[in-house]
């Protein structure tokens, strides 16, 4: 079985609203493996690197301010097709276009308060994981339920 990793962050609004447990539960219930987790107050430097591709957008200063407004829960998940599936679990970036049953479809209304971030490709996941975590912070293990999730 080929496995990949993705970076999922619960943004300050999700943390402040007490949505950590329900969001983690969605990924665990699906069968993905949590390999790293930490609560952080990201620096402006980290956020500028993380959102490098958005620096020229007019909303960028507001994004930085919002992402520094409170703690962020940074996580790394592992599993088959987890980048694509993680995005599906989160729902569309614009919560009003997200289907009910997705995290954003259930918990968000505005794009600027869309509760969570998820890597959009395997390459961006690798970059984001390296930005937020040291290699030794990623835990390697085989969950006891592995055989009940994967063929």
Q: Which tens digit of pLDDT belongs to each residue from 39-64?
A: 999 999 999 999 999 999 999 999 99
Contact 7, 86 (CB under 8 A): no
Q: Which tens digit of pLDDT belongs to each residue from 119-143?
A: 999 999 999 999 999 999 999 999 9
| Residue 3 pLDDT grade (very low, low, confident, very high; cuts 50, 70, 90) | confident
Contact 139, 125 (CB under 8 A): no
Would you say residue 146 lies in a domain? Answer: no
pLDDT at 1: 54
Give the span between the Cα atoms of 123 and 63, in whole angstroms.
22
Across residues 14-27, what is the average pLDDT? 98
Would you say residue 81 lies in a domain? Answer: yes
Would you say residue 91 lies in a domain? Answer: yes
Q: Burial letters for 88-98: b for 16+ Cβ neighbours within 10 Å, e otherwise?
A: ebbbbeebeeb
**81 bridge partner residues:** none
pLDDT at 2: 66
87 annotated to bind ligand: yes
Give the span between the Cα atoms of 89 and 105, in whole angstroms.
10
Would you say residue 148 lies in a domain? Answer: no
104 annotated to bind ligand: yes
**The tokens of 131 are what?**
């930005």
Given 26, 33, 50, 117, the catalytic residue: 117
Is 117 a known active-site residue? yes
Would you say residue 103 lies in a domain? Answer: yes
Given a cut of 90, whether residue 87 has pLDDT beyond it is yes
17 annotated to bind ligand: no
Q: How far is CA 8 from CA 56, 134, 147, 148, in A?
A: 23, 16, 24, 24
Give the CATH number, domain containing residue 76.
3.30.70.141
Across residues 23-28, what is the average pLDDT? 98
Number of domains observed in the structure of the chain: 1
| Domain coverage including residue 23 | 5-140
Q: Which tens digit of pLDDT belongs to each residue from 94-128?
A: 999 999 999 999 999 999 999 999 999 999 999 99
94 annotated to bind ligand: no
135 annotated to bind ligand: no
Would you say residue 151 lies in a domain? Answer: no
Packing angle, helices 20-30 and 82-90, rounded to 10: 140
């Amino acid at each position: 079985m080929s496995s990949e990793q993705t970076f999922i962050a619960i943004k300050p609004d999700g943390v402040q609203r007490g949505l950590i447990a329900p969001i983690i539960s969605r990924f665990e219930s699906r069968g993905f493996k949590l390999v790293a987790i930490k609560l952080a107050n990201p620096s402006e430097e980290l956020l500028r690197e993380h959102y490098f591709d958005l620096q020229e957008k007019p909303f960028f200063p507001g994004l930085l301010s919002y992402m520094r407004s409170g703690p962020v829960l940074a996580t790394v998940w592992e599993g088959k097709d987890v980048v694509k599936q993680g995005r599906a679990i989160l729902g569309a970036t614009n919560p009003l276009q997200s289907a009910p049953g997705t995290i954003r479809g259930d918990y968000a209304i505005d794009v600027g308060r869309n509760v969570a971030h998820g890597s959009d490709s395997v390459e961006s996941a690798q970059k984001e994981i390296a930005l937020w975590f040291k290699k030794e912070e990623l835990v390697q293990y085989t969950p006891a339920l592995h055989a009940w999730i994967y063929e």
